[in-house]
Structure formats: C-alpha cells, structure tokens
C-alpha cells in the first residue's frame, strides 16, 4: 500500500499474486481482486481519512506480469 503525503490524494493498493504457468495468470488476477474485496482493503483506507483509493491486482509468472485496475 502506498499512502500519499496529502490525504486528499488517493492511496494506492497493490495485491500481488504469482503463478507457475502463464495460462493461470488471469485467474491470479481475479484472486487478487477477490482478496481486495473480501478483506475490505479500500474501506480501511477510507476509514483512515484518505479521500480516495485506487487498487490494482498484479500477477507474476516468471519474468512476466499482468496488471489490472480493480473496479468496485
């Protein structure tokens, strides 16, 4: 998680997953989104007084990765 110096700027959440096979990376990205939602990461940041939050799922396989923005 990255917290801005100015609380009116959005905090940024990264949920990172790894997979051993390239064809499993999309499932890893969905798992990252599920974890952001189920553990209510965004709500916790907003309760801390930050005005906004942006969340991203990242899934690595070897030296490749895919990144997706989490949408509520």
**Per-residue H/E/C for the chain:** CECCCCCCCCEEEEEEEECCCHHHHHHHHHHHHHHHHHCCHHHHHHHCCCCCEEEEEEEEECCEEEEEECCC
Rounded Cα distance between 51 and 45, Å, is: 9
The whole-number pLDDT of residue 72 equals 82
Predicted confidence (pLDDT) at residue 7 exceeds the cutoff of 90: no
The whole-number pLDDT of residue 31 equals 98
Domain ranges of the chain: 11-69
In tens, the pLDDT along 15-63 reads 999 999 999 999 999 999 999 999 999 999 999 999 999 999 999 999 9
């Amino acid at each position: 998680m990255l917290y801005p110096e100015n609380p009116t700027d959005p905090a940024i959440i990264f949920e990172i997953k790894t997979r051993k096979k390239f064809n499993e990376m999309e499932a890893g990205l969905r798992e990252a989104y599920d974890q952001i939602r189920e553990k209510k990461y965004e709500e916790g940041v907003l309760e801390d007084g930050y005005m906004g939050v942006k969340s991203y799922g990242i899934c690595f396989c070897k030296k490749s990765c895919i990144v997706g923005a989490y949408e509520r």
